[in-house]
Structure 1
Amino acid sequence: MTMTVQQAGLTVIDPSAYAEEHRLHEACALLRRESPVHWVEGPEYNPFWVVTRRADILEIEKNHAVFRNAPRPVLVPSAEDQRQAEQGIVLRTLVHMDDPDHRVLRPIAADWFRPKTLRAMQDSVNVLARRYVDLLLARGGECDFVADVATHYPLSVILSLLGLPESDFPRMLSLTQELFGGDDPQRRRGENTEDQLAVVLDFFGYFQRLINDRRAHPTDDLASTIANAKIDGEHLSDLDASSYFVIIATAGHDTTSSTIAGGMHALLQHPEQLDLLRRDPSLLPGAVEEMIRWVTPVKEFMRTAARDYEIGGARITQGQQVLLMYPSGNRDEAAFERPFEFDVTRRPNRHIAFGAGVHFCLGAALARMETQAIFAELLPRLAHIELAGPVEAVASTFVSGLKQLPIRYRLGEPATRS
């Protein structure tokens, strides 16, 4: 049965569509053609405009004075909107903030993600990449690439940067999956907003203890930088400091995990691209960009109009909210040639998976470095690889990717050890 424009609009609030991407992409393609800025009124959600063309998404992203992150930076059910209106927010990360707060707080961690700092991290990232490829070898030729490699490798990178003990990594992983997987029956904790609130409070309890420790005993890690940061001579509030930790510790690995797993899946689906990449390793940086475009781990952010604004043939009135659909922007026929083809040689590749403007992803360069490092270590040692079972994805309207990628493979030892 042919999908209508109204059905396409409702698809973006259906978490299962994000686990069945063909359905999401079909809906977004229809909206791009017929209603690129489309009004959505669906059950359990307050109404909003969904924006599907790359150019319109970028215009909104870069016009942060008109399109504000507060009070609703991500798509949530109307029950959660009502709870926040009555009780206030419990999480105030950088993605929840507008200027001037955002302009003041973002630089606290920014130096840790600049090129000079990342160059100093390259060797340690390479060591971790080799460790996880060696783990594949130890698995004996069959594993779940998501559970065994893609999940734990970037988790180890970002939590080590924060200075957290390795014994706490499993707890951080579990809480992250519960936070981002609130729509997924296998990931969420409980069935209501109170259960999701409990996840945030568990994060806060952990990070409040970390903040107290780093203020009493400063170290040279990122955790100490955040805990001891001061604005106008005062430490960050408990809410702002704990929220800062939450965004770094969760988005700092989960989105990269999705890119690595989805990138591997794309190579398995397109073996000619895998062969091309193995024959010419110089293509790897561009291949990483294509993996990021293809996967687009962050599916959406929301903005609220501070005044009336016309875009894409629609008139947004003050107070109305817009949903920025990044997977749609990254498949926009007006912006990409052959957008539904996975092409490791794609040039240029002006994807918007990291956003744009003042809210451009803080950890974009680290994500690129991690993804390139793991494939640079894996591909030269890869003699054979194939799918070994069904592939499953997370059902989530916010951040999502694969949760199962069973593979069968043959690997060799690395050529040299350093």
Structure 2
Amino acid sequence: MATILQADTRPKIPDEIAQIVVSPKSYASDDVIYPALKWLRENMPLGVAEVEGYDSIWLVSKYADIRKIELEAKQFHSGDHNAVLTSQAGDAFTRSINGGSLRVISSLTYMDAPEHAAFRSVTSGWFLPGRIAKLEQQIRVLARQSVDHLLSFDGECDFMQDFALHYPLRVIMSLFGVPSEDEPQMLKLTQEFFGVHDPEEQRPEMVNDPVAAAKMWYASLQDFYSYFDDLSAERRRNPTDDLLSVIANSSVNGQPIPREEANGYYVAIATAGHDTTSSTAAGGMHGMATFPGQFDMVKADPALISPMIDEALRWACPVKHFMRSSVSDTVVREQTVYAQDRLMLCYPSGNRDEEVFSDSDTFDLRRSSAKHVAFGFGPHMCLGQHLAKLEMRILFEELMPHLESVELAGNPKLVETNFVGGYKKLPIRFKKK
């Protein structure tokens, strides 16, 4: 049974604001979602959203509260309910095909201690900064190939579709061990996996289906599992030096990693491992092209590339939310949160919190953005963050010396999603140096 919050005793968010923040469609327009999040921060930073078709949930909009909840992982669990906000009908469908469980994928996202630490340790060493740094030259070769492709355009292109979408995919798949000829399949499945609410990404047979999102997510997972079952078996027979071999041949608590947990790892790396990076890279270019002087600052001082990437993570924020459930009664921002109450951590809001980031709607390299919440906090902090930042730093180090100027050549287009996603299109006009 879904928890019914006692909304009559706690602040209820106005219906219009609640619907905007919960609706996937709102995130396709910065002019819609960010004013609503700003209203929450200023008027009801922690309140109950009651949206038809969804469980009653707390919307957490302030940076400090998001950080507190993520750091207090013993109090606020990820795996007791769905870690992703889904409609009640969608959750019911998931239970119906999953033995009553909402854990549709056995990934780190759905795990709590001690299970989470045990499975995170499978790859945590592989993603350490020192280990990742050794990949720089390998990644730089791929970056130069991508830059050459961009420069082949005659001064105008779609930065997302023609450039940013493919480079992180090539990087993560080459490190992961997926054959290059299978990359289009991985890209298609990723877009379906994260674009379950977007009409342009939905599978034709699921358009207008009231539980299309849940069905599409499940269908994408089955396609991923079918693909990785064969590849995983091959890596167990013939291990190589790739990340897939590390996972396929790992042990947890003295036993070989189970199929479901291995597939959970594969899917997480094959999706979030490139989608969020491509969206952040596009966000960096969007910010530099939109706010005067930012592009020129990076051109004049390559040392600003790393701060620019942190600012892009803050400003574009590809991960929109994760859910948490309170284990027992507790207090957050002077409000009583009861056991089993669900909380939606609104990361784009935390990254625009004026108490932490002044003039927060502006893309500004001079601010200190490294404390952004785009990678989360605590035990669930993004495992691949060092790889993602290395990829983007190398990409812009290779790209910027070849560009004299950049401007938008049309309006950006964003994915309709309240979970993970960013740019569909980013048309730019550029002059080569």
TM-score tier after normalising by the smaller chain length: over 0.9
Q: Give 1:5-404 correspondences, 5 Å limit.
A: 5-70=14-79, 71-86=81-96, 87=98, 88=101, 89-189=103-203, 190-191=206-207, 192=212, 193-347=214-368, 349-404=370-425
Aligned-partner residue type, residue 375 of structure 1: F
Aligned to 1:416: none
CA deviations over 1:57-107 (Å, ceiling 9, x no partner): 000000000100012111111112223334333311111111111110001
Once residues 353 and 306 of structure 1 are traced to their aligned partners in structure 2, the CA distance between those partners, rounded to angstroms, is: 24
Contact 1:179 1:188 in 2 (8 A): no
Deviations 1:5-27 (A, max 9, x none): 43212211111210101211111
How much has 1:139 moved relative to structure 2?
Answer: 2.1
The 2-side partners of 1:32 and 1:384 are apart by 36
Deviates more, 1:283-292 or 1:253-262: 283-292
Contact 1:72–1:304 (8 Å) recurs in 2 = no
1:349 Cα offset (Å): 3.9
Q: Which moved more, 1:268-277 or 1:166-175?
A: 268-277
For residues 334 and 52 of structure 2, the distance between their equivalents in structure 1, rounded to whole angstroms, comes to 25
* Stretches of 4+ aligned residues off by more than 6 angstroms: none
Are 2:429 and 1:408 aligned?
A: yes
Which stretch of structure 1 is more off in the superposition, 120-129 or 184-193?
Answer: 184-193
Inter-partner Cα distance in structure 2 for 1:129 and 1:348: 25
Any conservation in 1 of the 2:290–2:407 contact (CA below 8 Å)? no
Letter paired with 1:68: H
Query: Where do 5+ consecutive residues of structure 1 fail to align?
Result: 413-418
Give the structure 2 partner of residue 415 of structure 1: none
Distance in 2 (alpha carbons) for counterparts of 1:282 and 1:239 = 43
Distance 1:280 1:74 in 2: 40
Q: Deviations over 1:136-187 (max 9, x none)?
A: 1112222211111111100011111111110000000000000000011111
| Structure-1 residue corresponding to 2:3 | none
**Structure-2-length-normalised TM-score:** 0.92
Contact 2:194 2:420 in 1 (8 A): yes
Q: Which amino acid aligns with 1:358?
A: P
Q: After TM superposition, give the deviation of residue 46 of structure 1 in Å.
A: 1.3
Q: Single out whichever of 381-390 and 128-137 deviates more from structure 2.
A: 381-390
Aligned equivalents of 2:345, 2:250: Cα separation in 1: 32
For the residues of structure 1 that align with 2:429 and 2:369, how far apart are their CA atoms?
33
> Is the 1:57–1:329 Cα contact (8 Å) retained in structure 2?
yes
What is the CA RMSD across the aligned residues, in angstroms? 1.3
Moved more, 340-349 or 220-229: 340-349
Q: Any idea what SS the aligned residue of 2:135 has? A: helix
SS of alignment partner, residue 112 of structure 1? coil
SS in 1 for 2:125: helix
The answer on whether the counterparts of 2:193 and 2:216 sit within 8 Å (CA) in structure 1 is: no
Q: Distance in 2 between matches of 1:61 and 1:214?
A: 35
In structure 2, C-alpha distance between the alignment counterparts of 1:269 and 1:288, rounded to whole Å = 15
Aligned residues: 409
Query: Residue type matched to 1:313 in 2?
Result: E
Q: Which amino acid aligns with 1:165?
A: P
- Preserved contact between residue 52 and residue 325 of structure 1 (Cα < 8 Å): yes
Give the C-alpha shift of residue 348 in structure 1. Answer: 5.6
Q: CA distance change for structure 1 residues 136 and 237 in 2, over 3 Å: closer, same or farther?
A: same
Contact 2:127 2:386 in 1 (8 A): yes
Amino acid across the alignment from 2:23 = D
